[in-house]
Structure 1
Amino acid sequence: MTAVQRPVPLSVLDLVPVSSGSTSAEALRNTVDLAAAAERAGYARYWLAEHHLNPGVAGSAPNIVIGAVAAATSTIRVGSAATLVGNVRALQIAEAFGTLTGLYGPRFDLGLGRSGAPAPGAPAPPALEPRDDEVVDGLLVPSPFAFRIAPGSRFALQGELLGRVPGDVERFDDELALIRDLFAGTYERDGQVVDGTPAAGADVELWIHGSTGGASARAAGALGLPYGANYHTSPGTVLDSVRAYREAFRPGVLDAPHVIVSADVVAADSAAAASELALGYDRWVHSIRSGVGAIPYPTPAWAREHPVDPAVAEAVADRVATRFVGDAGHVADRLAVLQRVTGADELLVTTITHDHAARVRSYELLAAEWGARAARPAAVEVA
């Protein structure tokens, strides 16, 4: 007789989306409102992503937004997923999170990741090898997306404007070590401990985030840190990513591996209502992947009136097929499959709709359904 897996904690990933006809200022205010709603609904964490040069995403300065979210909440953990090393230097990162902790107390999660913006003149990372789509125990794992950075794209310009230089990616481990030393108050230079105020002694939870199962997963595992794996942006590599982390894991900060896995979801009162809210997602994802930069999220009416080009549909098919859309029960069922197949210890959900109230409602419906399942007596399977 084997106990059925119980629901794990749910958290929020907010990209601070800008809706068509709206402004970045309104998107930022919506984030603060959503954070307060997420806390009331019982979400465990509220994380902000870092994106630059995207007309449809206002989350370019997550550390500032994190402070605004912390000021509007009191119990939910707040953090970044991820702060991109290379875009910001280790000292600045540690000082920012030390400052946040000093202002709002020890409830901050610093998620670190490698930036996708290349340094001018640096070689592009190799494209992932395609393979057949597969379904693993009910979870769709599509062929990895062959991401390529086109010359003159937003990604290339981003690297230039952020001052990235060749070797930034290779310095990730050194920057990570410096951040840890600054928080621990043990960083030395010329035999003397350097005072890293306000970072020194700050109680910040450190995470590493990755997509492909490469160096980030191995770094997190080797240090015994918690790890974030992306099903929502890279569904084709999520199992590789989690596997690499667990294989590399050695007791360190944690005694055992701990993984949070992300998913893109839309929940509504009915499947039809959720499908309506989800319209436009294909165009939005394609605008990011093509290097143009995220467009303001379109209305369902606009999406219906502008049929998607077949080439565009093909380019984002993996993302559309792995977005969980439906009533709260259906979305919770799909999340349960994701959790079972990946062995996730937590799940991180991101929802984007044109209408802010609908987005808040989606999170509220899902939290209520997830909480109701957690409150039920544990069922068992008879072998």
Structure 2
Amino acid sequence: MSTVNVDTTSPSPRARAVILGAVATLVATAIHHVYGGVRYATPWRLHGAAVALALCVPIALAYAGYRRSPGTRAGRIAGGSLAALALAFPVTSIGLFEGAYNHLAKNVLFFAGAPRDLLLRMFPPPTYELPSDAFFEITGVGQIVPAAITAIAALGLIGDLRRRVTRLAPGTVLGARELVGVHGERIRIPDPTRIVHLQLRRFAGCPVCNLHLRSITVRHDEIAAAGIREVVVFHSSADELRLHAGGLPFAVVPDPEKRLYAELGAEPSLLSVFDPRVWPIIVHSVARSAIAILRGRERPPALIPTGGRFGLPADFLVAPDGRVLASKYGEHAGDQWSVDEVLALTRAPAVSSVRAAAERGAASVLDGGSASRLPTRCSPG
């Protein structure tokens, strides 16, 4: 792919997962320690809750510093500090020590019938309490969950900081490429006569994707009349897509190896499904898909879909000359342009002039060198 004006200053999508996971862990341990301090008359636990909440401040400051200037040296230092603070406190001190050792291991040994002498040696009072209160033990073990999410996100953030996240900014020029559709058709990007709305979706049968693409299907004639060609890519195989999306009225492209996702900077993230903003969309889409599956109108997605369940969507408007006119990188599974937003973007003066030129056949086509295509194994057969 030939590109210019690539945005190398975009923050990693994992940074938000780190701060949400870290703060959730710290708040969870504060609740746990306040309850334990009152329940067992141990004031030092209240102090522990205060320290946990206080740690939210440096973590938030590190996150803000990284978000402010992720492409600078100072921003990368702030991002590294965010990952280090998260791994040191929410993950190690709370998740591993407090949650896994102090509570999970203690409860496993206790309910497995370990000798009391062994339990008292491993968990001596008054620092520890043998299981006697369900809420205290449940909240203690529960700290492991947000800490585990934080650990995965923090390690991913460190990897992103080392290689730097690359995203396509408006003005980026894409080299010519030929994609292979789900039915074997050849799809040229850029299209010499139309603006392409290139969508990077998730996996075949994804309920959130199905809900969104239904809105595209219903208004596809209106989209086409605006001079826009829809091209939708999934990180699934052609065989999977023929079962779930073979009848859509626009181009559907399989990319099971996620090569196009990597080229365009679309990264997966735990927040694709753990971001609270997507939960109402998930409930709605899963309910709709469940009814459609029961009626035989849809098939259930694979239990372990190709490319995983944590993909994030991305949208691009690509002009006939290869320029990216607009781009959007979703922050969760349901964060993409609506039909109204796509149509509104095409009515913007800069985009309208491009569309008019394309309709007159006057737009030039940038080949960017040799055309590229996804591997032939992405195509049927």
TM bracket, shorter-chain basis = under 0.3
Task: Please give the TM-score of this superposition, normalised by the length of structure 2.
Answer: 0.25
Greater per-residue strand proportion: 1
Greater per-residue helix proportion: 2
Task: Please give the TM-score of this superposition, normalised by the length of structure 1.
Answer: 0.24
